């Protein structure tokens, strides 16, 4: 009768090298952070007028006008004459950005119209929020 020998094979501790996988994860994380677009909130929530034909829109630039006719960008109030360089810098950060003006219903129309004209001069697609 043939004899079978049983030998005990010691299992080697198999370790998985995680360094390449972590490198890939960090590279992907950096890629998504660099390519993401952050929307800066205006810092004030005005009481908006109502409209019958409101549409959803995803802007990259948010500008608010409160009842005291202050223009709010990135949680700071500005006068209408001070906003051109700020909006230009925001456009340079994201050239394809679209803008939305959130105006209080008690704000003067001239401020909103001035902002719209400024946006047209800078070739930024702009809408006025009613929602």
Task: Please identify which residue in the block is written with the tokens 């960008």.
Answer: 73
> Which pLDDT value is given to residue 127?
83
> Which pLDDT value is given to residue 27?
93
> Which pLDDT value is given to residue 5?
63
> Which pLDDT value is given to residue 24?
92
Q: What is the pLDDT along the chain (131 residues), one digit of tens a residue?
A: 566 666 665 666 677 788 888 899 999 999 988 888 776 767 777 766 666 665 666 777 888 998 888 899 888 899 888 899 998 998 888 888 888 888 888 888 888 899 999 989 998 888 887 65
> Which pLDDT value is given to residue 84?
92
> Which pLDDT value is given to residue 85?
92
Q: What domains sit in the chain, N to C, each tagged with a CATH number?
A: 39-128 (3.30.420.270)
* pTM (2 d.p.): 0.57
> Which pLDDT value is given to residue 44?
72
- Contacts of 4-7 with C-beta under 8 Å, sequence gap 24+, read none
């Amino acid at each position: 009768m043939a004899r079978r020998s049983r030998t005990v094979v010691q299992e080697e501790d198999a370790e998985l090298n995680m360094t390449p996988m972590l490198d890939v994860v960090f590279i992907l994380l950096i890629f998504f952070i660099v390519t993401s677009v952050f929307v800066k909130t205006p810092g004030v929530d005005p009481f908006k007028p109502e409209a019958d034909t409101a549409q959803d829109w995803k802007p990259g630039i948010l500008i608010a006008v409160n009842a005291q006719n202050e223009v709010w960008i990135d949680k700071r109030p500005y006068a209408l004459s001070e906003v051109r360089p700020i909006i230009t810098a925001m456009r340079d950060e994201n050239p394809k950005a679209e803008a939305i003006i959130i105006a209080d219903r008690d704000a003067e129309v001239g401020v909103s119209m001035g902002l719209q004209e400024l946006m047209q001069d800078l070739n930024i697609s702009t809408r006025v929020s009613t929602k």
